[in-house]
Amino acid sequence: MSDPSSASIVTTPPSTMPTEAGSGAPVDAGLPENARREKPRGLLGDAWRDLRRKPLFWISAAFILVFVVMAAFPWLFTGGDAVNGSLSNSQVKPSGDAWFGYDVQGRDVYARVIYGARASILVALVSTIGTLLIGGTIGMIAGYRGGWVDALLSRFADIFFGLPFVLGAIVILTTFNGADSNNNEWQIMGLVVMSLVVLSWPVVMRLMRSSVLATKEADYIVAARALGAGTGRIILKHLLPNCLAPLLVYGTILVGSFIGAEATLSFLGIGLKSPVVSWGIMISEAQNYIRISPFLLFFPAAFLVTAVLSFVMLGEAVREALDPKLR
């Protein structure tokens, strides 16, 4: 592991430390040249160095990059029309002309899958980030402060936790996004994101809270307090890095399940609606024709699974990189 003789007292040369406290004259003597030039490193820097060596990271990052570009600039990938089709093409199988075939209404499935990425990925990512931020913050406050603050926040979270997911989403979305409302695409997305966040944050909050409770009593937190560290430093430098791992893992799973949840809500007719395109809408439409035209389900589902898997793998790689013990 390390040079055994380095730990011996016998080999310690006489100290060169200045005896006056506060007189910060740098003493370079006795140190090898390269030791002085070596750049200081921190957790994030080391995590990045570690990530760069992982093929898993590069593969998943490449996929995610493709999906993100797809969501931002779908016209780079296809010249087809995702919204309008010709009924004469209804349920035509994949061919050289239309790689993924045509759906019931004769729209190009390839174009729709590309254009569908935006809604699906945007909703899932924004909801995940929102859930992690809100749940994480409240969980941190509850766990760190403890006492009545914790009791109050925990009971508050329990209320939301008690709401059944689908029922809760139906209530929220039918209230704000009923059949007679004429919200535009972005407003609907915002509403969907809001309902997902509102119904999911308690899980993250509990994760964070229990992780903070376990870490808060750790000796190194006591040691930091003994040094005079303030609340901000303890939370940012000591608690957060050590409590983040379970959240990251859960976050990657959330991305996947939110893509699915968005699809569910679309299917129920309370989420995104045609003519907006999303993988969820496509999957729910394809269900009725699964026997006759399985490709209608296959392509959006394949994109969805690939996207979810990429996020899960990325999360795993990041979690490993952030834990020095696994390096």
Partner 1 sequence: MSDILVTEQSKPGADGSGRPSGRLLEVEDLRVEFRTRDGVAKVINGVTYHVDAGETLAVLGESGSGKSVTAQTIMGILDTPPGFVTGGQVRFHGKDMLAMSAEERRRIRGEGIAMVFQDALSALNPVFTVGFQIAEQFRVRRGLSRADAKKRAIEMLDQVKIPNAKGRFSNYPHQFSGGMRQRAMIAMSLALDPEVLIADEPTTALDVTVQAQIMDLLAEMQRERQMGLILITHDLGVVADVADRIAVMYAGRIVEEANVYDLYAKPAHPYTIGLIDSIPRMDEKGQQLRTIKGLPPNLMNIPPGCPFNPRCPMAQPVCREKVPPLLQVGVSRASACHFAEELVNRD
Partner 2 sequence: MTENILEVRDLVKHYPVTRGVVFKKTIGHVKAVDGVSMELRSGETLGVVGESGCGKSTLARVLMNLERPTAGSVLYKGQDISKLSGGALRRLRRQIQLVMQDPYTSLNPRMTVGDLIGEPFEIHPDVAPRGSRRQKVKELLDLVGLNPEHINRYPHQFSGGQRQRIGIARALALRPEIIICDEPVSALDVSIQAQVMNLLEKLQDEFGLSYVFIAHDLSVVRHLSDRVAVMYLGKIVEIGTEDEIYERPTHPYTQALLSAVPVPDPTLRDQKAIIRLTGDVPSPVSPPSGCRFRTRCWKAQDVCAEQVPLLEIRSGSDHPSACHFAEKREIVATHEA
Binding site for partner 2 (CB under 8 A): 1-3, 6-9, 11-13, 15-17, 19, 21-22, 24-28, 30-32, 35-36, 38, 40-43, 46, 151, 155, 218-220, 222-230, 233, 237-238, 241-242, 322-325, 327
Binding partner selected for residue 274 from partner 1, partner 2, none, CB under the kind-specific 5 to 8 Å limit: none
- Among partner 1, partner 2, none, what binds residue 96 when CB lies within 5 to 8 Å by partner kind? none
CA 40 to centroid of chain Cα atoms: 29
Task: Please identify, using beta-carbon distances, which residue of 49 and 93 lies nearer to partner 2.
Answer: 49
Q: Considering the complex, what minimum distance in angstroms separates the CB of residue 35 from partner 1? A: 21
Q: In sequence order, which residues have a C-beta less than 8 Å from that of residue 84 and are 6 or more positions away?
A: 107
The answer to whether residue 182 forms part of the interface with partner 1 (CB under 8 A) is: no
Q: Rounded to whole angstroms, how far apart are CA atoms 281 and 303? A: 13
Task: Residue 323: name its binding partner from partner 1, partner 2, none (Cβ under 5 to 8 Å by kind).
Answer: partner 2
**1 lines the binding site for partner 1 (CB under 8 A):** yes
Q: Is 12 or 182 the residue whose CB approaches partner 1 more closely? A: 12
Count of helix runs (H) and strand runs (E) in the chain: 12, 0
Residues in contact with 215: Cβ distance below 8 Å, sequence separation at least 6, in sequence order:
221, 238, 239, 242, 243
Site for partner 1 in 2-61 (CB under 8 A): 2, 4-5, 7-11
In whole angstroms, the minimum distance from the beta carbon of 19 to partner 2 comes to 8
Q: Which two tokens mark 113? A: 């899958």
83 interacts with, out of partner 2, partner 1, none, CB within 5 to 8 A per kind: none
The Cα-based distances of 221 to 212, 226, 323, 325 in angstroms read 11, 9, 18, 19
Give yes or no for a contact between 324 and 143, defined as CB atoms under 8 angstroms apart.
no
